[in-house]
Structure 1
Amino acid sequence: MKKSLIIICFLAGLVFPTSGIGQDFAMPGESFLKTYSEKQTAEEKLSFFYQTSDRYTFHSAYDWLDRINADLTSAIQKQDSAAIRTYHLIRAQLYYDLGNYKRAASLSQELYPELESMDTLSLQRLLNLMDENYGKLRQFDKQIEIRERKRQFGISENISFYDIYSNLGLHRKAMEQYIEEVKKTVDSSDFYQQAVYNNQIGQFLLSEKSSATAMTYFKKAQGYIVVFVNDINQVRTREEIDNASLLKAVVEGNIGKAHILQNEQEEALPYLENSLGVLSSLSSEAYKDEKAVNILALASAYLDLGNYRKARQYLTGDFDTFQPELQIRRNRMLADYYQATGDSGREAVYLKNAMRLQDSINALEAFNQKERLVTIVASEELEKEKLKNKEQELMLAEGREVMEAQDMRINLVFISLVFTLLGFAGLVYAYLKSIKNQRLIAEQKRIIENSLVEKDSLLKEIHHRVKNNLQMVSSLLSLQTKNTRSKAAIEALEEGKTRVKAMALIHQKLYQNDDLSVIEMQGYIESLINSIQSVFRKGGHSINITIDAEGVELDIDRAIPIGLILNELVSNSFKYAFPEDYENGRIYIHIQNSKEGGFFEYTDNGVGLPDDSESRSENSMGIRLIKRLVNQLQSNLNIDKTAEGVRFWFNFK
């Protein structure tokens, strides 16, 4: 059987060359976003969105987000609750595809209380999204809760933990549980399932540094997928062929990484380059982390081979990932590159970047690791206990039937006595178990309270470090300004410095507050205005600035965009609205926040906007940045040209 499989793989390879895989992933055609817009109902748009796997071929996820926001605004105006829920689900998926897992989790959590009112398909999509998103955020306790809900709704029969164990670094335990749960479900005649199964086993082994054994499984997976595609007895759909090509590219990337672990860099290069070529041809955001891993593997191989030009090409090229572990590896490899090329200054910079990222990860992991392990183990034991109880219930039911057949002639008094004793034993057992549970709950409560105190301390330290890092960036920009002679470049650097300071002030206010969740806006805006005045050297002698934001507190997700918007508006007023001879200049800033929503208003009585302001705004980085920030707040920017100056305003949630 093994010899036959090898022969088939060889012949199939002749008609399924490696270099051709993935070339037709993005077929030419009409804009998917246009087709989406032509759909009449929210349900039709939702179905089309999820059925279009290559939806980012012609338009980016940001373009889709603008379209969905417009649909959501329309649904809110019509008070169509079902459509609102549908567009919220699509937005959550878009933020996940963009790698903004925190925002995706927030939107998903808003829909979570409405599970009972959702149709089956939307329910499944939401729970699957939350499952994957919490895995990316490493919030494994919440991920386990979602999996329990999936089982309750019939989406999955059992709760699995192997992927969570692997994310925690327990790769051997993850592999053992994966084999126990999945091997019995794999159809031996389904070559695609066999390829997926063997590739996953190989990945567990590769994570354990068992490269030789992992290579064996990867080669088996490669053989199975080739046989799957070239099986002349089966007619494959376009989707099946595409999925097989993608899986083959992933497997080849894993083979390349296994070669590197065995110090076989030359052998690794063709596998990694072919895999990266296929993954880069995809429009999907789902495999950007896999692409980043392959890029790092290629850079590592070229560094070991002494080809520093190729190594730098990969390290400084497109590296689109939000995973901090991968960013740490990239910074360390850049440090190795600059060490090899004799640039000790840049080597130190990248080593410091890697150390800062590692410190942040270590701090968060030290806080969460113990609690996560306790949660997972407790959930797994609970799952086993449930299965054991079901088996015991079945055994007891069978025993009762036997006893009823055999005990027809036994005295009723004896039967009553037996059941009385059993009941008493059950009450004693229940009482003892109740006491044990109460003690366990008290201990867990104490652990959680201590963890919360530690969490606040860690968060303050993180915000402090972020503020210091941003101040360092601001100082670097100042140094660059002193060494720059171009007036335009100096202005650009100064603008960048004010934006950095605006963000640094946020983190400074956070770690100085007792409440780490909100920013007091009155004091923040005053500090921001002082910072901007120091840059533009207008001490306010003829400009009266009024700030009306007393008592307004905003979370960091809203405070940062509003701070950056104010930075742009105030800077523009100082630069353009008030000439040197302008008298009685006034700036009015008003922010309010309530349960119904927030309101932002900025007014100055300067020279106003020019007649061609609309066309010029398209080329103005400041206005485009303001509009993008307002969109991030789920609103639209309004600009009113008044008799005295200009007024900017918008509502926000």
Structure 2
Amino acid sequence: MVQGIAQDTFKIKIYRELLSVYIKMAICTSFAPIVLWSQEIPLDSIDKLLTHNLGVEQHKNLLWMGAEKSLEQDSTVYRTKDFTSELRSLPEIQNDSASLMRALKLDAHADRVMGNYIKSIDQFKVCHDYFQRTADTANWAFSANQLGTMHVFMGKNEKAQGYLFEVYDLYKSQGNILRLAQATNGLAIFYDNINQEEKAIERYTEALKMFQEIKDTMGQANVHANLGITYTDRGEYGKAEYHLSMQGKLDSLLNTQWGLGFFFDYLGYLREKQGRYQEAYQSHLQSLKIREKLPSHFNITESRISLAAVLIRLGHYDKAIIEANKVFEKYDERQSLHQLQSSYELLSEAYEGKKDMAKALDYHKLYKKISDSVFNSDMIETITEKDAKFERVQKESEIAILNLRNESSQKIIGQKDRTILMSGTGLFLVSLLCIGLYLITRKYLGQRQQLAKALSDKDILLREIHHRVKNNLQLISSLLTLQGRSIDSKSAQIAINEGKSRIRSMALIHQDLYQKENLTSVNTQRYFNNLCQELFTTYNTSKDQVHLETDIDDIAIDVDTLVPLGLMTNEIISNSLKYAFPNHKKGHLKVVLKGENKGLYLKVSDDGIGYDPKEVSVKSFGNRLILSLAQQLEAELKISTTKGTTVEIIMQKLNIETYD
């Protein structure tokens, strides 16, 4: 009896659901009501309704709703293509260009989410051209945004720039804050991708304010994630920690697996840079587990690249090679130059760790070839020119708006009080003065533009020089490694490894210079954090064994000062890691750098076993190098070995710039 009542209740529920659907279908006559309705009905209910014998129009509307609804969840994205495939088979869809483009846009969006970038780009290009011709601004901007973002991820920066500028202008003209925030975030990602971090942070901050204004939680989470990874690259780990923490909280509130996949991947990258390799490995593993349940091949590959990097740091070279080789799986669907470049670089490092120098050099050459193609001088020059033009157009647009407002105000004033215009002589003199000022200003602006172009050309050339110097230093390091393989003398091997370490300390400076906007000075906080990280890796010292503490002012130092200072720091830290903690003894290493009274104070101290500086200074090339460089910088050098070893370097009258 109870079972019969339950069955009747279920039938009544289904009948009411179907009746509600038929009523709503009778009302729905446009796309907007369908979207609102689709948000109320779950996908499984749409599937059930499609099994009933409905009218042609009702069946078609349900297919549209299913295609839209399946895009809302990562786990159901693949269903979108099933719905659109059936839609395109309908004669009324085949004969309607607008409906065909709507279906193609949904297909392209699904392929983007699943990581099939090549197919998605081909489809979105068709949509983009159609929506541009038909002046469908909303869909035109949406297509341009998707194309720009995918080209950024694939390393095709010049194409990405054109689409992202286009979508920014479209959304700005519409006055839609949400879309403008998304476009601004896209521009920031582009700038980040070409290593213009200052511009990227400026755009990220702008986007974050807009997302906060409209209380868009997902948008805020995305920007916090991007800022987290940017500050990690800059070595500003405190700021990175804050933004990634904010991203994790927001994505947890949203319960989005897609966002949490990024959170654990980015957190792992931060932990790796901090030298906390086991924590980094666990974070990357968690990210991969999440992403393997989602449809995007692109994001899965990102996690594999991250895993390979930290496995190399842990010394698990064979496992790292396996993960790096998985980047080539389904590569034709993504064709990401960045992922290919990362894979070759990691394979080179892994084989170097295995002492297979022939393969290491082969993969390094492949890495360098792609690196030079992504960051070649012609491409950088073109992007810089387009960026300058974009900024100029934006400024001119703002000036034009101000001029229009000013003209309107003048007309109102003129209408209210025409007696002001009675003096023709005064007006004539003012006109002559304005013309004179205009001609002078025009000449001045022309000179400024010529000077700006000359400076831009010089910056491009200088950036390319720093890039090539860094690559050549890396090549020298690789050649030293190869040479070391043919040497049996242990002392010679040690000398070669120390030489490689010194070369790396200089390469880091040139890497920083070509990646940043300032081409003459280097951020000390970022440089010294990276140098410490490199040395801990070189001497296979974990931060669980030797705890590293840094207190480094965020200042800029010119290259002529930083190269010798970096070499000195390299020698001092190397000595500590090599000699202060024998037999894996645990200890503490502290690096302090302060800009004081237009001078510089550097202190490196450890609590290790200490040594006799007089004895070592006679025998050690490293210590002789420290003394020579200190004289070159006219620096005061103090060495204390009472409790461990402390080395202090004091320099006066330096040109130091403090970052805000």
TM-score scaled by length of structure 1? 0.49
TM-score scaled by length of structure 2? 0.49
